[in-house]
Amino acid sequence: MSQATLATQATEQDVTAEHHPLARIIDLERYPILERDSDAYRAAVEGVRQQLRTDGCALLSKFIREDLIEPLREESEALAPKAFYSDNNVNPYVTPDDPSLPEDHPARFFQHYTNGFVARDLIPEDAIVQQLYRDPDFQRFVADCLEEPVIYEFADPIAGLVINVMPDDTELPWHFDTNEFIVSLMTRRPNEGGEFQYAPNIRRPGDENFAAVQRVLEGDHTDVESLTLNTGDLQLFKGRYSMHRVAAAKGQRLCTLLGYAKTPDMMGSLEHTKRIYGRVTQQHIDADNQRRHDALMG
C-alpha cells in the first residue's frame, strides 16, 4: 500500500473521529477509543487491563473532555432532586435478615443506608451520560478493557443507568454489586471525603469467604484500598467479588453508574430493586426466580 493511500486513510479516520458523537464527550487524545487498530488504542486498553488484573479496579483519569466537565456536573445536579432515597438498613448482600444464621454472621450485619438513586427512566435520552452509555464504540472499548468479546446494556429498565446521589455527610455502606462489573463516571466530586474504598477479590464464585468479610465489617481495613475520583474520571470495577463502600463526604457527591453485563438479560434482584429504587416492574417480578450462575448471595 502506497504512502499516499495510507495518508488518505489516516485523514479519513481523523475526519470521521472529529464528527463522531463521542468527540465532544471523551478526551480522544488521551483515550483514542475510535482507533481500535492503532498502537495507542492497544496501549490504553492494556493499561486498564493491567489495573483490573491487579485488584479488579481501574481508574481512567480525565476521561471526559475538560470543556465538558462543567456541563456534566450541571446535568447531574439538575437530575439529583429526582433521586429516591432508601432510608433503611441493609447488609452487604442487600438481602433480608435470616434469623437462622448466627448473630455475628456478615449477612446479619446491617448498616444505615441514606443514599439516593436517580433511575434510568428518569434520565433524559439526550443527557450526556445517556449518549455515552448507549454508544457502541464506547461499549466496545469497555468490553476490550474487560477482556470480554461483547457486553450488553442492562435489560433492567430502572437500574441500567443511574446517578448515585450522596448528600452532605452521608456514606454508601459496604456492599457487593449484583453484576460482575460496573462502569462509573464521577459527575460531581464532593468538597472533601467521599473516597471509594474496596476489599479486592474478597470472595469468588462458590466461596463467600465470610471470615474475611466479617473482619472488614468489624473495622480491619488492612487489605482495603482507597481511591479518590475527580469529576470526569471513569472507573471500571469488578464489584461482584470485591466488597466496597464510599466513605462519608462533605458536600454533595454525584456518580453515574453505567450498567453492562455479559448477557443481554441482566436484571437486578426483586429485593435489591425494591430497597434501593423504591419500585419494581413486571420484568423484575418475572426474573425473580432465575438462579444466578455464581451461587453467591445478593
Host H or E run for residue 39: helix 39-55
Residues of the chain with pLDDT under 70: 1-16, 289-295, 298
What pLDDT was estimated at residue 254? 98
What pLDDT was estimated at residue 232? 98
**Per-residue H/E/C for 102-138:** CCCCHHHCCEEECCEEECHHHCCCCCHHHHHHHCHHH
pTM of the model: 0.87
What pLDDT was estimated at residue 1? 55
What pLDDT was estimated at residue 6? 42
What pLDDT was estimated at residue 12? 47
| C-alpha cell belonging to residue 182 | 460496573
State the fold for domain 14-293.
Jelly Rolls (2.60.120)
- Domain-by-domain residue ranges, the chain? 14-293
- 295: buried, middle or exposed (CB in 10 Å: 19+, 13-18, 0-12)? exposed
How far is it, in rounded angstroms, from Cα 146 to Cα 151?
A: 9
CB 256 within 8 A of CB 146: no
What pLDDT was estimated at residue 267? 86
What pLDDT was estimated at residue 87? 78
What pLDDT was estimated at residue 165? 96
What pLDDT was estimated at residue 175? 95
